[in-house]
Structure 1
Amino acid sequence: MLACASALALLLGVPAVGAAADPQDTSDRRTAPVITPTPQDLRPRDDRVTVTPTVTLVAGAKADAAALKVTQQALLDAGAHQVVRGERPVGSRLTVYVGGPGETPQTAEALTALGMEGPGQLAPEGYVLGIGERRIALSGKDRAGTYYAAQSLRQLLPERKGPGAKVAGAEIRDWPTTAIRGVIEGFYGIPWTHAARLDQLDFYGEHKMNIFVYSPKDDPYLRERWREPYPAAQLAKMKELVDRAGARHVEFTYALSPGLSVCYSSEADIKALTDKFRTVWDLGVRTYAVPLDDISYTKWNCQADQEKWGTGAAAAGAAQAYLLNRVNRDFIATHPGAAPLQMVPTEYYNITPSPYKKTLAEQLDEDVVVEWTGVGVIAPVITVAQAKAARDVFAHPILLWDNYPVNDYVTNRLLLGPYNGREKGMPAELGSGITANPMNQAYASKIPLMTVADYTWNDAAYDPGKSWRTAISEYAEGDARTEKALRIFSDVNYSSRINAQQAPALAAEIAEFWESKDAAGLDSALYDLQRSPDVLRDRIAEQEFIHDSEPWLDAAEAWGVAARAALRLVELARDGDGAQAWEQRQRLPALVTAAKSFTYTDLDGRKIPVVVGEGVLDKFTEDAAAEHDRLLGVTGAVKGLTNLPVYQGNAIERMLDGDDSTFFWSSRATRTGDHVTVDLRKEREIGDISLAMAKPGSVNDYMRQGVLEYSSDGSSWEQLAAFSGKAVVTATAPPGTEARYVRARATAGQTNWLVVREFTVETKDASVTGGPPPAAGSSLRAAADGDVTSVYRAARAPESREALQVDLGGTREVSSVTVLQPGDGSAQAAVQVRTPDGDWDTAGELDGGYGEFTVDGEPVSAVRLLWSDEGGSTPQIAEVIVR
């Protein structure tokens, strides 16, 4: 296969597919079209053909109409003025032969003239494509094969406004290694529109995918109301889909899911199911599935089933086998031309032997195809060994229902990375094929689905990184600016369960910046990120992609702005420009908030905050602020940590924001050992601790049994208190207790998720006294707590000789004092330090948002701000920093 790839590279002037490819490598710039999916065997010839003004098209009466249409349009796009039908070559014209042995007999002579064999020995849907000696020959093993040959020719021919294009000679023998290759619309949430489905069917044909399974979870006539007939208007749309699929050599599969309410032993229900199948048979549907996933098999929908089969998983397997066998015998067997029945078992997500699987394997008709998702609902990897095990445990042909790039479980994200983690050789062990479950966003799904098509056609030659870059280039239709912008946008929407690294290209730029301290490269990358959404809006041909991706495009642009501001903050701070760095630091939170503000509206009308570059862009802004803190000499804001997954943007930091109406919310039940932790950023003396869990509407979402613990290093923990059955937990640390971390850890599992409204830990740092007194919701301590984002806000203007005093807890040698005020800083004060003899020396006058005052290493026990008697403004102090 590598030799084949090298030949393709030689033919087209592009690098060959290597054994390894880096998704972030952007050096592979295509200079000519690439055939995708990758052909099995391609050999360049020494000759070439010229696209003449008139091209003769030789095709028999049985030639595939779709292949003829694709071929003719490709020739016109390549510069031919006209394509005329003929029986034999005419003069110096280019002659194109379309059709396999059963379609166009003349093609065999054209292949012989080129020294090529026909498609007789190829697998179904295989084809031969020859280019040379003033002729092009397309010959399929069957009509689908001829159609796929036309799709390959379409990619090889250039796009020109006039004749004369030179096309390099080539000999291609190609066939799929996976028999069934395609897509299952099987997600929860907003179903695709009719227009999107029609467009998808065109897309599948172009990429040699041969099946579409119609199974949207939120089509009521497939699940909740499966017994009811379709309205006439909906049947008309389905008829249009079936016809479009047939024209593109895509098998339209109708999947009916009766499991929520079916009575397996009911003759009436069996009839209702087969009657529904007969209705769509009349539309031209020939492939059927009965998914029994995401249902309970521990309770029956009718008493008759319990009386017939008893109870338990094995009984459920027997009941399902009975229903499916009846459908198989009563409908599939009585309708010549129907494909083997497909089914999804209730245990579809592992290869562990069980009474359910054993019964189903033994009792289900042997020709029924079983669908399986791999080891896990969303399998990070699927190996040859796992596929073999699935065949063994189910004892039936396996159709892999691969849950990628589906995002119904993370509706706040786009998943645009490549198909990954699927071992070479795995498809051959399945016995049937692979269908990929896509995103709710049909048009955005095309990028990862192109890589699925590449793998399923030729898994031996598949390289995820190269396939991904090729998919982006193809979707950009060869426009360099669009391709760059699409690659950048896809990079920050890259990670998933099968692609662990988020934003690999941008993450590498960020890592290089922290290592080299050279900001130029990262600033350029972030500027490109900021601009890429506008480039895509202006230039991408398929504007439906913009509609699909709109909130994520908005977020990417805003994150580009925020991250560049964070980068500028670090530059200013490192350059010693404290005043401008402080101004930049104060701008940053609003920019980050704006980047997090964009939402996606789900099927229920809920506004779901979208995420872009998660763990990369947000972390960079946090790291930039932390670097500024380090250079200022402060510890930074208290931080929340957890091992629990987050539900829809209810992030861990919300339990530390001082707002009881916001909260952290996990996206699964709490298990033994799960924790929520407060990181105080340095070891401090701690006092009162309060953990407020649950919320209105979710009163049971709290940690039922657990312990409060503290630690200085995050490894060794001391128990402070145990709790059980309380949504609000309080404790007080013994006097003198010092810790950096305080956590609540579950000591038992439970079925409820976890909500934490607030997790507060009192610390006893530098003592702040004096006045004016703080306003409601503020504190004196905020003026010297090591967190520049917390602010002491006075309740009133200062009185004469009033001062705010920071006691250092002992005498220290102090080099400088920095005072930060929010905004431009309207309060005025004398900045004074207390010497060992008790005198107060003035280090300077505070006037403005940033003040840095040199003390020259003098021993100091306290710092105070002696407020000016003039002006009368109400003080606000973000931080008094003593170094």
Structure 2
Amino acid sequence: MSFRWALRLIPVTLLVTAVAVAVPAPVSAAPAPPSLAQVWPTPRQLTPRPGQVTIPRTVVEVAGADTDPSALAVVEQVLRSAGASTFVKITGDDRAAVDRQRGDDWLVVFIGGPTESRATALALAALRVEGPEGLSPGGYVLAADRGVIALSGVDTAGTFYAAQSFRQLFSSGESRAFALRDWPAAPMRGVIEGFYGAPWSHADRLAQLDFYGRTKQNMYVYSPKDDPYLRARWRDQYPPEQLAPLSQLVSRAAANHVEFTYALSPGLSVCYSSDADAAALVTKFRSLWDIGVRSFAIPLDDISYTRWNCDADAAKFGTGGAAAGAAQSFLLNRVQRDFIAAHPGAERLQMVPTEYYDLADSPYKTALRTQLDKAVIVEWTGVGVIAGQITEKQARQAKEVFGHDLLIWDNYPVNDYITERLLLGPYIGREPGVAKFLTGITANPMVQAEASKIAEFTSGDFLWNPDGYDPDKSWLAAIADLGGPAAPALKVFAENNYSSLLVRLETGKPDLDSPVLHPLLTAFWTALEKKDPWDAAAKLDRYLIAMAANPEELRRGMATNPKFLTEVGPWLDQVGLYGQAGRHAVKMLLAHFDGDGAKAWAERGELVAALKKAQAIRVPTARGPRNPGTCTDVCVPFLDSALATADRWFGLPGIRPRPTTSMGTYTDNVPARMVDGDPETYYWTDWAPRAGDTVGVDLGIAQQVSHVDITTGKPSSPNDFIHNGVLEYSADGERWTTVKTVTEPVISADLPEGAEARFVRLRVTGTQTFWVVVSEFTVSTPDSPKYTVTGTPAGPNLAAAADNNADSVYTAASAPLPGDALVITAAAPKPLDKVVVLAAEAGAGADVQIADAAGGWQTIGRMTGGYTELPARDVVTDRVRLLWTPGGAPPKIAEVVPVSPPRR
């Protein structure tokens, strides 16, 4: 094709040299062209031009015979979505065809880089745009000006990536004219399916591969721990019915310019010196080669290197870390020689060392550095299995220590170690300069494939252009990409499942679980203390409304992605319930601020009901069913603090212990049951404890504590208690003070005078075969009043009527008879200011009475409804009585509170 002919395809007005900044137009000029859409991953150079390009109904496509078919498919899909209906397709140098179809309103799209189509180079030259020659693999040039669009990759992958940028820039059917020049920083960018637990489905993997293509990631490592043909049966060939899905994955990966890496893990049983095992590895790889796999890895992580699988290895290599490194190098070198080098077109072999993290040199690493073929790429997780930071200095040091090119296996957003949580925050903590010392990074994702796309989007953005990476902007783009029209609702959900160990390690802040809600709560508490809470409460309530509506809005807005909704269902329900509970908490606190105890008590009941529903949700984990970890570091502490504050206003001590345990849960006998004030319920572990296991409570803040009562075991399992342990307390969770040795099921202990604690726990010090049941774990403060409760009608948990816990309830078994009464007796007479009665349900009526000095009863008022507050000033007494009105509903009393005058 001649340059002169290429000019005929381009309007003459485009031959004027374009400028990056448009000259301000006169008043009578046409409206300014639209702004450029954002491209992700963040491009290197995107320069706007003065004009505008609109996709018309008729489009001319100029492509070469070797133009990437996947790129062509993306371009045509975008054009059709924008309204193009007539396509004139030209392959090669068919000038006559162009002349016959030429019209004033046409759009000519050139597709293909230097190895695909000669025509694109001429179009770029006419547009005064430099071609992609010299860019790194995957680089591309994309330009659009009036009537012409040119997509040119340095290779076919680059042209495909140009098509993905074209898709974003022309999503509305038009764009400002521009010139875009772009290339990736990291050669290898992608994901490794390397987590433990339930694997992704075949459909998940296909969808992931399409997603990698859209986000310009070029690597997927197939390493699911549950595939027996990868680990336990690594020597065996795949049956045809299992090889077929792998073949489909390989084809889909190729269509998306993603390298499918097959990772075989023989370490559990391999004999490194065995000719037969080396041959089995090569034979297995050949079977995968035959279906199109060109990239292979041999992970040797999570195995023992102090125990050989065959005597021959001990004889050949000896013992210790150096021997293990030598044995692994020996085997890998044979695979490199006999398979990789013998198959032109094979990618470089990858391996995961047994010592796959830290920077310390060792005999094992020395052996790899000196004996392993330099062609082999070594994988590394950073300074730690989960690295809070990976710096340029660390990457340089790691390359020196291992002596090989490095590929980072990055354990984010993987959640197999904390499966009750979703990790939906952005990729952070990696310095831009690490790309200079690495071949790339593969992110290890969550069990939830669709939900993993948020973090995967951001890690892909970082790897493409680390210097231009903004985690917050990238995260919002990921939300928009996955959520579409439901992006606002998805944002609310994701920011309440934001935190992770990576965030904590990188920032040192434990309270980033809900980065929007947390400052709103802080502002509300501050405003409440300043006696002006209304504006802060309104702002907080708007966000809590969004949380409460989140399940409905997200399920409606993302109905076209049912897989995502199924994955996140329990967490989504919990966000909604925490939003509901939060709204009731705010209303409760404002009601107290206004002096409306009845409304505050009613709102407290709604709060507790929503909180119980949220904490009753369960998700399966390796350690048994657990409560989802949604908004854990923000929502639950706020709700606990709100309840404690309200309870102090009601006259109660306001201790809100949260259960803590290192052990699992048997069925629905959850830890919360050991702090619910009901001796008939209990927490039950799902296995016998090991030395070091703990069970206890977190009081929220360090405060003076005076006494601990713990009831363990149960009638049907009397031996399910800690047989060898210690009772301990700590103000900070780091320095612990031992109170006593524990060997019996019922524990009662006084703490030293002035003892301050936030945490109180039982710690197991010996092994046992019995599980552990904890019925009640009660911590008292010096100010906690102690009462004895007697009376009728009979009912379980009579003591709950005055146990300083508004969540425990005395429930009468029958309606009151004449003369029935409930008596609350204090340890000694004390002055009263008022009596507050908190009824769990309205319906029962009673005269509220106090004992006088002569032993008689004086009525101070009537208990009606859920909340009763009666003045009792200038009275000193040790007894309060509720004399029931006969008949009516059986009483349900949460608490009778004899309130002393405030201290002066």
Aligned to 1:493: 497
Aligned to 1:639: 657
1:212 to 213, 220, 232: 220
Using the TM superposition, give the Cα deviation of residue 729 of structure 1 relative to its aligned residue in structure 2, in angstroms. 7.5
Q: Which moved more, 1:676-685 or 1:270-279?
A: 676-685
Distance in structure 2 (CA, Å) of the matches to 1:265 and 1:848: 82
TM (norm. structure 1) is: 0.87
The answer as to 2:70 corresponding to 1:66 is yes
Could you tell me which residue of structure 1 aligns to residue 530 of structure 2?
none
The secondary structure found in structure 1 opposite 2:501 is coil
Please point out which of 237, 255, 266 is paired with 1:258. Answer: 266
Q: What CA distance in whole angstroms lies between the structure 2 residues aligned with 1:564 and 1:129?
A: 50
Which residue is 2:787 aligned to?
Answer: 768
Question: Which residue pairs with 1:460 in the alignment?
Answer: 467
Query: Which moves more between the two structures, 460-469 or 570-579?
Result: 570-579
Summarize the alignment of residues 157-176 of structure 1 with structure 2, pairs less than 5 Å apart. Answer: 157-160=170-173, 165=174, 167-176=175-184
Aligned to 1:511: 522
Aligned partner of 1:521 among 498, 521, 539 = 539
Deviations 1:488-543 (A, max 9, x none): 11111111122341121122332233233233222221222222222222232433
> Structure 1 residue 575 and structure 2 residue 599: aligned?
no
Q: Could you tell me how far 1:707 is from its partner in structure 2?
A: 5.3
Residue range with higher mean Cα deviation, 493-502 or 213-222: 493-502
The residue identity in structure 2 corresponding to 1:846 is M
Q: For residue 232 of structure 1, report the CA deviation from its aligned partner.
A: 0.5
1 CA distance for matches of 2:316 and 2:470? 51
Once the two structures are superposed, residues 347-374 of structure 1 have per-residue CA deviations (whole angstroms, 9 ceiling, x without a partner) of 1122222222222222111111111111
Q: Indicate conservation of the 8 Å contact 1:702/1:752, yes or no.
A: no
**Letter of the aligned partner of 1:861 in structure 2?**
T
Q: Secondary structure of 1:611's partner?
A: coil
Partner of 2:864: 847
CA contact (8 A) 1:766 1:806 kept: no
Alignment partner of 2:45 out of 24, 41, 46: 41
- Per-residue deviation, 1:419: 0.8
Structure 1 residue 749, shift from structure 2 partner: 10
**CA contact under 8 A between 2:349 and 2:377: conserved in structure 1?**
yes
Aligned with residue 614 of structure 1, among 623, 629, 632: 632
More divergent stretch after superposition (240-249 vs 497-506): 497-506
Supply the AA of the counterpart residue of 2:564: F
Question: Does structure 1 residue 830 correspond to structure 2 residue 848?
Answer: yes
**Which residue, out of 797, 804, 807, partners 1:789?**
807
Task: Verify the 8 A CA contact 2:810 2:893 in the aligned structure 1.
Answer: yes
Match among 430, 436, 458 for residue 451 of structure 1: 458
1:662 pairs with one of 678, 683, 688? 683
Give 1:703 shift.
Answer: 9.1
Structure 2 residue runs of 5 or longer lacking an equivalent are 1-17, 23-33, 505-511, 528-532
- Name the TM-score, length of structure 2 as normaliser: 0.85
CA separation in 2, counterparts of 1:356 and 1:99? 48
**SS state of the match for residue 75, structure 2?**
helix
The counterpart of 1:180, out of the listed 171, 184, 188, is: 188
Question: Counterpart of 1:662 in structure 2: which amino acid?
Answer: Y
Residue 733 of structure 1 corresponds to which residue in structure 2?
A: 750
**1:631–1:388 distance in 2 versus 1, CA, 3 Å:** same
The counterpart of 2:210, out of the listed 176, 199, 202, is: 202
User: Any idea what the Cα deviations from partners look like across 1:661-715, whole Å, max 9, x if unmatched?
Assistant: 414789997669x8845749965653x744759999999996966454588x999
**Which of 114, 122, 134 is matched with 1:121 structurally?**
134
- What is the CA distance between 1:264 and its match in structure 2? 1.4
**Contact preservation (8 Å) 2:296, 2:349:** yes
For 2:340, the equivalent position in structure 1 comes to: 332
SS of the residue corresponding to residue 404 of structure 1 reads coil
Matches within 5 A, 1:240-639: 240-430=248-438, 432-477=439-484, 479=485, 482-500=486-504, 501-516=512-527, 517-518=533-534, 519-540=537-558, 541-601=560-620, 607-637=625-655, 639=657
Q: Confirm or deny: 8 A CA contact 1:122 1:141 kept in the other structure.
A: yes
Give, in angstroms, the shift of residue 454 of structure 1.
0.5
* 2-structure distance, mates of 1:195, 1:57: 33
User: How many angstroms does 1:563 deviate by?
Assistant: 2.5
Report the 3-state secondary structure (helix = DSSP H, G, I; strand = E; otherwise coil) of the residue aligned with 1:311.
coil
C-alpha distance in 1, partners of 2:81/2:723? 65
| Alpha-carbon displacement from aligned partner over 1:51-92 (angstroms, at most 9, x marks no partner) | 232111111112111112211222222222222223456343
Deviation at 1:486, TM superposition (A): 1.0
* Structure 1 counterpart of 2:119, from 91, 95, 106: 106
**Aligned CA distance change for structure 1 residues 502 and 776 (closer, same or farther; 3 Å):** same
Pairing 1:669-818 to 2, within 5 Å after superposition: 676-677=696-697, 679=699, 683=704, 685-686=706-707, 689-690=709-710, 692=712, 706=726, 708=728, 719-722=738-741, 726=743, 730=747, 732-733=749-750, 743-744=760-761, 757=774, 760-761=777-778, 766-769=785-788, 771-772=790-791, 778-780=797-799, 782-793=800-811, 800=819, 804-807=823-826, 809-812=828-831, 814-818=832-836
- Tell me which of 805, 819, 837 is aligned to 1:819: 837
Give me the whole-angstrom Cα distance separating, in 1, the residues matched to 2:58 and 2:269: 62
Letter in 2 for 1:804: V
Deviation of residue 256 (structure 1)? Answer: 0.6
Instruction: Tell me, in whole angstroms, the C-alpha distance in 2 between the residues paired with 1:443 and 1:293.
Output: 27
What SS does the corresponding residue of 1:631 show, helix, strand or coil?
helix
In structure 1, what is the equivalent of residue 894 of structure 2? 878
Task: Find the aligned partners of 1:617 and 1:388 in 2 and give their Cα distance.
Answer: 41
C-alpha separation in 2, matches of 1:309 and 1:695 = 58
Change (3 A) 1:545 1:269: same
Residue 581 and residue 99 in structure 1: after superposition, are their counterparts in 2 closer, same or farther (change >3 A)? Answer: same
Bigger mean CA deviation after superposition, 307-316 or 204-213: 307-316
Determine the C-alpha separation between the residues in 1 that align with 2:871 and 2:155. 86
Aligned equivalents of 1:752, 1:297: Cα separation in 2:
31
Contact map agreement 1:582 1:850 (CA 8 A) in 2 = yes
How many angstroms does 1:395 deviate by?
0.9
Letter in 2 for 1:439: M
**How many correspondences in the alignment?**
840
CA distance in 2, matches of 1:660, 1:727: 19
Shift in Å, 1:616: 2.1
Report the CA distance between 1:320 and its aligned residue. 1.2
Percent identity reads 43
2:161 maps to 1:144: no
What's the RMSD between the two structures over aligned residues?
A: 3.7
* Counterpart residue type for residue 603 of structure 2: Q
Matches of 2:778 and 2:20 in 1, distance apart?
Answer: 63
* CA deviations over 1:703-742 (Å, ceiling 9, x no partner): 966454588x99998653246xx47584543998987668
- Structure 1 residue 775: deviation in Å? 5.5
Instruction: Say if 2:548 and 2:579, in contact at 8 Å, map to a contact too.
Output: yes
Letter aligned with residue 421 of structure 1 = G
CA 1:727/1:241 → structure 2, altered by over 3 Å: closer, same or farther? farther
Aligned in 2, Cα 1:587/1:254: closer, same or farther, shift over 3 Å? Answer: same
* Unaligned 5+ runs, structure 1: 1-6, 12-29
